[in-house]
């Protein structure tokens, strides 16, 4: 299986990042990853339909928020915190620390 494409951090734009974070399901994924660091897709899907979750992962990847790496048959997801913080200082800390 081929690896996913991830945008270069120099191309991150604020509007797509905020749009990705505006959806409640995607925000829940981001906050969960903020707590655990890395998780496979099955852990993050929960009871939601796999097809809609695939879309959410894609939106998060394309905006630059999420990195997905393939490890055997698992897809491991993590936040691109360092890259996002370099581009938008304090944004992810505010998102992750919001009540």
Using the predicted structure, report yes or no on whether residue 85 has a pLDDT greater than 60: yes
Q: Which CATH class is domain 11-97?
A: mainly alpha
Q: How much is the pTM? A: 0.88
Q: What is the pLDDT of residue 47?
A: 75
Domain boundaries, the chain: 11-97
Question: Within a 13 Å sphere around the CA of 46, how many CA atoms are in the beta-carbon half?
Answer: 7
Residue pLDDT, tens place only, 10-67: 999 999 999 999 999 999 999 999 999 999 887 787 777 777 888 999 999 999 999 9
Inter-residue long-range contacts of 81-89, CB under 8 Å, 24+ positions, other chains counted:
83/9, 83/12, 84/9, 84/12, 84/17, 86/9, 87/9, 87/10, 87/12, 88/12, 88/14, 88/17
Q: Sorting pLDDT into bands at 50, 70 and 90, what band is 84?
A: very high
């Amino acid at each position: 299986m081929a690896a996913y494409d991830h945008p270069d951090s120099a191309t991150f734009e604020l509007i797509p990042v905020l749009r990705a974070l505006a959806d409640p399901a995607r925000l829940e994924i981001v906050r969960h990853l903020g707590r655990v660091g890395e998780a496979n897709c099955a852990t993050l899907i929960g009871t939601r339909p796999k097809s809609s979750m695939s879309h959410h992962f894609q939106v998060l990847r394309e905006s630059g928020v999420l990195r997905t790496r393939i490890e055997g048959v698992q897809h491991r997801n993590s936040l691109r915190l360092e890259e996002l913080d370099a581009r938008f200082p304090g944004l992810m800390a505010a998102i992750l620390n919001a009540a």
